[in-house]
Amino acid sequence: MPSLFLLAACGPRELEPDAAYVCDRCEDWNEPIEAFRVHGKTWYVGTNGLSSLLVETDAGLILIDGGLAQSAELIDASIRELGFDPLDIKAILVSHAHFDHAGGVAAFQRMTRADVYTSEAGVETLTSGRLSEGDPQYVADSDAGSFPAIENVAAVGDGESVAVGSTNVRAIYTPGHTAGSVTWTWESCAMNTCYDVVYADSLTAVSAPGFSFGASGAADRMIESAGIIADLDCDILLSPHPFFFGMHDKLERREEGNPFVGEFGCVFYAETVLGWLEQRLDAEGR
């Protein structure tokens, strides 16, 4: 029975989803939407409210973020609808270790045996599937925010890249929303035109009751991270929640060229998140 043994060693050949995570906004976030090309070899394969991206390279696919545990099947279907084989995924990148972006990653990792990459500070949470005490959304003695634990998680240093074939996706550490938040950036080329794509991580001050962004220093890290994002070469802004980059609005304007390409995406994003942070700090009574 050598072939059976081999199959077992390679893991499942089809997606075996984990149990769904239940939250107030999960159902809305997980509404299916049609996969689409953002530009060149960069595709959106996420859901209505949670981004997942596929980058095609000359040596396989890169998947970025996995939505909720229950998003995995939708992402899998989107990848197939585009004509790709999810088994060609060679690397899985994660923006930050929260249930709504890392929840579907374990199922893809089991199926593809791909390595999973995030920042040094994000490895432990992805590996355990449980928030650590410093996370703004951590609740003591609670399973809140936990997600399926992920195997084969590797750290990428700040400024270092994950390479698949000739495609390099660079990690830029942008802590604040979580200690391990990573912004990923790569070049997308089509018809002799190349654009810098920035998948800017969340910079929202969302927390469990009692956490102070001001007192903990998370606000300072967020301000610094917003500055880093604003300074990046950024022709195409994407981010873990589609509303951060106006996805639905842009999808309606696709007749007028590519609405995802724009000059001030990252600067505008940085200004917007700093505005939200101001409100939060006011509410904390700084």
Q: How far is the CB of 70 from Zn ion (least distance, A)?
A: 17
Q: Which is nearer to Zn ion, 98 or 170 (CB)?
A: 98
User: How many residues at the interface with Zn ion, by CB under 5 A?
Assistant: 1
C-alpha torsion sign, points 230, 168, 201, 49: positive
CA distance 172 to 185: 8
Q: Choose the binding region for Zn ion from 83-91, 98-106, 138-146, 168-176 (rule: CB under 5 A).
A: 98-106
Q: Which is nearer to Zn ion, 51 or 112 (CB)?
A: 51
What's the closest the beta carbon of residue 55 comes to Zn ion, in angstroms?
A: 22
Check residue 98 for interaction with Zn ion (CB under 5 A): yes
Stretch touching Zn ion by CB under 5 A, among 27-35, 91-99, 268-276, 277-285: 91-99
The distance of closest approach from Cβ of residue 202 to Zn ion in the complex, given in angstroms and rounded to an integer, is: 5
Tell the smallest beta-carbon distance from residue 88 to Zn ion (Å).
28
* Residue whose Cβ sits closest to Zn ion: 98
Query: How many whole angstroms separate alpha carbon 185 and alpha carbon 65?
Result: 14
Residues that bind Zn ion (CB under 5 A): 98
